[in-house]
Structure 1
Amino acid sequence: MQGNNYVDTQLFKKLTAFQDECANTSTPDYTFFDRVLSQVENSVEMEHGYKARLKRRLQVLSNESLNVLVLGSPKTGKSAMLSALFGERDWSRSANEIQRTELNRVTLWEANLPDCSPESKPLIQELSALLSETDDHNKPLIDLVMVVLDASSSNVDDCYLDICRTIIPMMGRNADGRLMVLFSKCDKVAHAIRGEYVKDVMPMDAEIWLDCTAATLRYRLIDNAGVQTRPFAFSSVPGESPNGRPFNLLRLLARTMETLPEDKALTLLNHVISRGDDHWREHDDNLLYLQLIENACFDAIHLGAHDGDRFGGQLGAFLGRHGRALGNIVSDEIRSQLGISV
């Protein structure tokens, strides 16, 4: 992956072509799209013409490929975040290399957040090559860049400067709307503020501190780099509180789907592990994140829908019996995929 003088700017396209070739010779996984399609075909509430339109749309969506680049300084929680969303696997890699992991139509790229030191120059060259790649429609091939910062670390300012000096210039005019900045390990902040015995997963004073830190970083990025992003905090692994649950993972999933291109957001659900209620339960109360996920899925499948077209809390109710039937399918499959029982 690493080069000293010459960077192969076609590297990404070659690897993508190789991925597609392998996909054609292997047995595909039974995906989220397959399960939705099966329910659509078996529905007794949908007419044949409506089923045919949904099937065509699901076929288009299922052929999309998703590419996500995850960056962060060593030990910021990148691997823990990837495990929380994509399952336990070996996410380890060499310090100055880019690791590529192939899933079902999802390519994950992971690397350290480069600084301006001479040692980071080869990594900067490779990251610049990846982020400058475009597809046949002249759109960026890297759909989303996720930068993970350690909320409990004292070097957040240094990481902010690294984002402004290296990552945003690499992304160019496509940085706005394609960048997510995240604060991991927020449970450690709670312990730093409240002490060893924290009764809640995220006490109010710790949440306020994290929100203020995220807001400060957001407006600094707007003022100094002209990039709009909304940082927030999460914890991928169970904290040391009596509840022992991760925090804000449902928000992380909802915001990731919201940031991705609409036609590619559902591809993310092909690899979310069904961890159950405890994995997704704890989050802030700013928004109904499960509803945001449902809306994103419904709107992508049912072209022309807006925010799920809910009525009385029922997904798709404004669109008649077809919309209600599709809404029930989407809600059931999302809950099944995440292992959420209520």
Structure 2
Amino acid sequence: MNKKIDIFENLANDIIGSDLPEREKTEILKSIANAKEQKLNIMITGATGCGKSSTINALFDYEVAKVGVGVDPETMDISKYELDNMVLWDSPGLGDGKEADNRHSKNIINKLLERDENGNALIDLVLVILDGSTKDLGTSYELINQVIIPNLGDDRQGRILVAINQCDVAMKGKYWDSLNNKPEPKLETFLNEKVDSVRKRIKEGTGVDIQPIYYSAGYKEADEKQNPYNLSKLLYFIIQHTPKEKRLVYVNNISTKQEMWKDNDDLKDYSTEIKKTFVESVKDTVIKGAEIGSEIGSILGSAGKVIGGVVGGVIGGAVGIVKSLFSKW
């Protein structure tokens, strides 16, 4: 499990110990308290064997029971995992038979239609995981096109992310560079074509234009181990699909194992982009509403350092906790 990190507590302690006027301190502490109360709900679904459990383990270093091991898949319902103020809803996908599929579909729809105490949709994001090692994605398209997207409400595009796992064993694993933990050019071309195909099928079936990504959650079995690939990219996309006021929740929960995040494609510097996103979240959810002068020096101490103070509401630095998590990527 992760070493416990509480960015909200660190921010609050640093603000309390700062030289800011009491009125500004009060405003910022209220914003921190409000951000800490935010509850993030993510539904993770996909066909049996797609790697939901391994993905959860990799992202959050949270060991969950492997789906279907020693259990009849047709008897399984939605599982709930609470990590601090983040809740993961692990839902079976389709493909377990007509009767089970009907039950799973009904459970998923009911959860998607559920509302929180404020009347907002309970589920903030649905992460649909596809099995990159198989050509038959018919049940996954049925799940996405007929069950999930029609029940997402107005923000259909913003509340769903489709990710293709097990990219390392696509094309029977023939073109995976194990030494460098990345796809060879031929496999990379195949995976990009698969992403494009999935995007088109969903667009044709729903009218919703989404951008799938591919990754590998990695594995550890006996003396054999393979680190994830594109896990930072997956996290980046997950964060981008999360309401801004809830993004800081991830800081308290993501895996602190550096090796989990280091292997990614070279399309973007995902670690830098993630750090920028968290800094923006601090600016938007914590500093907002406080009239702070431009010369306040370092007010965030261990949780971050403001370089040049706050000018026009823009933070000129990085959140230290976040920076320490990603410093070696």
TM-score (norm 2): 0.79
Alignment partner of 2:43 out of 69, 80, 90: 69
Partner of 1:272: 254
Equivalent position amino acid for 2:237 in 1: R
Structure that is richer in strand per residue: 2
Q: Which whole-Å CA distance do the structure 2 matches of 1:50 and 1:72 have between them? A: 47
Change (3 A) 1:194 1:341: closer
| Pairwise CA distance, 1:198 | 6.0
Residues matched between the structures, number: 299
In angstroms, what is the RMSD of aligned CA positions?
A: 3.3
2:14 pairs with 1:33? no
Partner of 2:299: none
Partner of 2:270: 289
Q: Which whole-Å CA distance do the structure 1 matches of 2:79 and 2:89 have between them? A: 6
Alignment partner of 2:235 out of 253, 256, 261: 253
2:65 pairs with 1:91? yes
Change (3 A) 1:230 1:58: same
2:150 pairs with 1:175? no
Contact 1:68/1:144 (<8 A) preserved: yes
Identity value in percent: 23
| Pairwise CA distance, 1:204 | 2.7
2:323 pairs with 1:341? no
Contact 2:275/2:318 (<8 A) preserved: no
Partner of 2:127: 146
Q: Which whole-Å CA distance do the structure 1 matches of 2:157 and 2:180 have between them? A: 39
Q: Secondary structure at the match of 1:303?
A: helix
Q: Which whole-Å CA distance do the structure 1 matches of 2:115 and 2:49 have between them? A: 31
Bigger shift: residues 142-151 or 92-101: 92-101
Contact 1:239/1:246 (<8 A) preserved: no
Equivalent position amino acid for 1:203 in 2: E
| Pairwise CA distance, 1:68 | 0.7
**Mapping 1:199-214, distance limit 5 Å:** 200-214=181-195
Q: Which whole-Å CA distance do the structure 1 matches of 2:278 and 2:305 have between them? A: 15
Q: Secondary structure at the match of 2:200?
A: helix
Contiguous gaps of at least 5 residues in structure 1? 1-28, 306-315
Q: Which whole-Å CA distance do the structure 1 matches of 2:7 and 2:136 have between them? A: 40
Q: Secondary structure at the match of 1:173?
A: coil
Partner of 1:101: 81
Contiguous gaps of at least 5 residues in structure 2? 288-303
Q: Which whole-Å CA distance do the structure 1 matches of 2:139 and 2:169 have between them? A: 20
Q: Secondary structure at the match of 1:163?
A: helix
Alignment partner of 1:322 out of 310, 314, 319: 310
Residues 134-153 of structure 1: per-residue CA shift (max 9 Å, x gap): 23443211111111111111
Q: Which whole-Å CA distance do the structure 2 matches of 1:80 and 1:224 have between them? A: 29
Partner of 2:291: none
Q: Which whole-Å CA distance do the structure 2 matches of 1:158 and 1:121 have between them? A: 12
Change (3 A) 1:288 1:37: farther
Q: Which whole-Å CA distance do the structure 2 matches of 1:243 and 1:119 have between them? A: 34
2:29 pairs with 1:55? yes
| Pairwise CA distance, 1:62 | 0.8
Structure that is richer in helix per residue: 1
TM-score (norm 1): 0.76
Bigger shift: residues 69-78 or 266-275: 266-275
Contact 1:71/1:78 (<8 A) preserved: yes
Equivalent position amino acid for 2:127 in 1: M
Equivalent position amino acid for 1:341 in 2: K
Q: Which whole-Å CA distance do the structure 2 matches of 1:212 and 1:327 have between them? A: 40
Q: Which whole-Å CA distance do the structure 1 matches of 2:180 and 2:83 have between them? A: 38
2:147 pairs with 1:166? yes
Q: Which whole-Å CA distance do the structure 2 matches of 1:136 and 1:214 have between them? A: 37
Q: Which whole-Å CA distance do the structure 1 matches of 2:247 and 2:94 have between them? A: 27
Q: Which whole-Å CA distance do the structure 1 matches of 2:21 and 2:184 have between them? A: 50
| Pairwise CA distance, 1:49 | 6.0
2:215 pairs with 1:234? yes
Contact 2:133/2:169 (<8 A) preserved: yes
